[in-house]
Amino acid sequence: MKKILFIELLGGIGDLLIALPAIKALALSYPHSRITVLTFPPGGELLQNDSLIHQVTYARRGKTRQSIEEILAQRDFDLIISDTNYDGIDELILNSNAKCTVTNLWRNPPEERLVSDRFLQILLEEGLIAPNAISKGEPIVHLLEAEKAQAQQLFEAAYRPLVFLIPDSAMPIKRWSKENFVTVGKALQQQYNATIVVPVGDDEDFARQMAQAIGGAARLWRRGTLRELAAGLAHADLAIAVDTGPARIAAALNVPTITLFGPSWHGRYGQSAPNINLQGYPDCLERVISNFTEQRCWYSGVCPFNWNSCTEGISAEQVLEAAALSLCQEENNGLRQTWGIKDSPHLILGEKANEWQNARNILVIRLDNIGDVIMTSPALRAIKENFPETKLTLMASPAGALTKPLLPWVDEVLPWRVLWQDLGRLDFDPAREWELIETLNQRQFDAAIILTSFSQSPHPAALACYLAGIPLRLGESKESGFGILTHPIDPAPDEMHQVDRNLRLIEAVGFRVRDRRLCLQIPNSTLIQNPYILLNPWTTCQSRNYDDRRFAIAARQLSQMTGLPVAVTGTNKDRDRASPLLDILGECAIDLIGATSLAQFAALIANAQLVLTNNTSTIHIADTTNTPSIILFAGTELECQWRPRYAPVKLLRRPTVCSPCYAFTCPYELECLDIPFEEVVAAGLELIKAKGRWQRDENQ
């Protein structure tokens, strides 16, 4: 069989996905064949980029017979299979030049046998597919890594579990009430701290009203292409949907799915285990299991018993019980995953994780600055939650090692200045690198996780770990490692946020991530008793520093307008350049330059009414503490890689053709930060007012 045509013209997205296991089984049975699928838009989008399917051709609705005639006139096929025979489709197929034909896969499925399984059974019995070609457990919709990464960006720091509630159906007779969906959404938020996502369907107002009624962190998923929806669903921990195409997309991606059935029969059209199918009013006297289109409700859209839909027979409590089974009792390889229960371990699942399950002495390497280490906090927390008994060591630069008091999941910090990230300060001294290898060897680590930015290589660190005898070495690499990494992970898109880059790495070997937000242990420190604005005006990188004078004038005006003093922070190295700024601030300044530890500095940020700063570690601490921030964000980096994702912020910068430059010094007079102080003042007042409104709402 060199050329195979599969005709799927039943009409719905779900119908195509029901047929997809059969299509893939044919492709695997005839690996040298060319598979063409004739179907309706937009469902065919889901077959794009699938290496097993060579061409997708679209039929015109209302002209199915003509569409088939055209494709048969254009080319010959060795095998033609159709899952329907209306409009004389079977006659066209039988009269073609195909050597072998199957004119109706949709034939006499037993009441309690899934139609998708029936398709495979017929092809198997007729000798058209091999038994080992039937895929088990693999997602049947293929998505590109770039598509999944782009979707993940939209979830930002969303709490897990991530639950899609999908109420939309083109047929009202299939729908479940908005009130029930709202009840389920609120309960999942309260019980599991879930993030609820409501995709926009044909009725945007309905989806918006539903998300607003659920409240909390419920959010809309904007309407786009089917592939965009599939990429979003691929990140979900649970999908709850009526019997419609998106439910089948979720299940096809191996997302645990609860489907609510009304007129159609769950035993025939449901999702395979471990997905859960709930049937509304199963004993309906009008029900015709063998052909639901014969039911009076199907084409009329009206229930003869004055219900809106027999899905009304499914209670919110039943759905929540099913959700509990999916979220709290999902077992895989004898290990149990538990969502939403504080302090419970999230155990590693999947084949990739087998080698990691006995790792009880783990080294995490992140050798950059304080802010970079802070952005590892969700990954460090996830590792410790997966394996609470594991000793976790963080190898960091001397500056990054200062974060130790803020990271309760880290048992030990190993400060080290390494050659491959040196800026020309280290002398030629090979003995220093051998000392590093010996130090790592003495600690007898089971595994090393090497966290890097988009532009860094994990291989120098991995080689040191290899020479130190660390058996498991995980890293993301754009290069060929030739065995230096035992677990090399393909690179994510450069635009991915650094927090997600870190988490993606550990998720690749099975670590479960409960919470993607930054997290720090902030001390209860009150260096300043009354409310204040915090100004942290300097970074160690010249190309990121907003003009001192403008910063000072903006802070002084904000102080005068709000009555709030300005706490000025920095390191001892900043003292020499501080005098002009402090002179402008005058009596409104509280000089704390060089007077705080990193932990005390974090507490100052947490208690501030507003933070004024550049792109430096301050912004990540403020993101952790949800402190409103004005950030003068230079054009040195892409905002999408480093920006805060949770706290209320205003990022200020001017677009320039040289951005991102990744430079330490700027030859162009910092044009990207040529921002009038009045703009800083206006942005600061807006955030302070918004914070005041929020606080009043909380106190009401």
Hey, what are 154's tokens? Answer: 């939209």
Closest CA to 257 of 323, 191, 200, 211: 323
Pairing of the two strands 447-450 and 533-536: unpaired
DSSP string for residues in 81-124: EES--GGGHHHHHHTSS-SEEE--S-S---TTS-HHHHHHHHHH
C-alpha–C-alpha distance, residues 613 and 567, integer Å = 12
Pairing of the two strands 330-332 and 335-337: antiparallel
pLDDT for the residue 152: 82
Place of tokens 């994990």: 458
Q: How far is CA 127 from CA 20, 100, 131, in A?
A: 18, 11, 9
pLDDT for the residue 333: 29
DSSP string for residues in 624-635: HHT--EEEE--T
pLDDT for the residue 696: 41
Length of the chain counted residue by residue: 700
pTM: 0.58
In our burial notation (b when 16+ CB lie closer than 10 A, e otherwise), range 80-113 reads bbbbbbeeebbebbeebebeebbbbbbeebeeee
pLDDT for the residue 332: 36
CA angle 618, 621, 623 (to 5 degrees): 110
- Reported as a single tens digit per residue, the pLDDT across 349-385 is 344 446 888 899 999 999 999 999 999 999 999 999 9
> For residue 660, is the peptide bond before it cis, meaning its omega torsion is within 30 degrees of 0?
yes
pLDDT for the residue 479: 85
Paired strand residues for 574 = none
C-alpha–C-alpha distance, residues 639 and 619, integer Å = 12
pLDDT for the residue 694: 42
CA angle 404, 408, 412 (to 5 degrees): 50
First to last CA, the chain: 72
- Reported as a single tens digit per residue, the pLDDT across 26-60 is 999 999 999 999 999 999 999 998 999 999 999 99
pLDDT for the residue 686: 92
Q: Give phi and psi for 146, each to the nearest 5.
A: -65, -35
Q: Widest CA span of the chain, in angstroms? A: 94
> What's the CA dihedral at 673, 678, 679, 685 to 10 degrees?
130
C-alpha–C-alpha distance, residues 476 and 39, integer Å = 39
Residue 455 CA from chain centroid, whole number? 21
Paired strand residues for 391 = 361
pLDDT for the residue 481: 64
Pairing of the two strands 79-82 and 55-58: unpaired
pLDDT for the residue 560: 96
Contact 362, 386 (CB under 8 A): no
> What's the CA dihedral at 675, 680, 681, 685 to 10 degrees?
150
C-alpha–C-alpha distance, residues 570 and 539, integer Å = 9
Q: Give phi and psi for 247, each to the nearest 5.
A: -65, -40
C-alpha–C-alpha distance, residues 315 and 278, integer Å = 10
List, for the chain, all residue ranges whose pLDDT scores fall below the cut of 70.
137, 156-157, 328-354, 481-482, 691-700
Q: Give phi and psi for 413, each to the nearest 5.
A: -110, 135
Where does 626-696 show beta strands of DSSP type E? Answer: 629-632, 649-652
Give the H or E element holding residue 599: helix 598-607
C-alpha–C-alpha distance, residues 551 and 680, integer Å = 8
Instruction: Provide the 8-state DSSP code for 668.
Output: S
pLDDT for the residue 216: 80
Residues 6+ apart with CB under 8 A from 553: 584, 677
Number of helical H runs and strand E runs in the chain: 23, 25
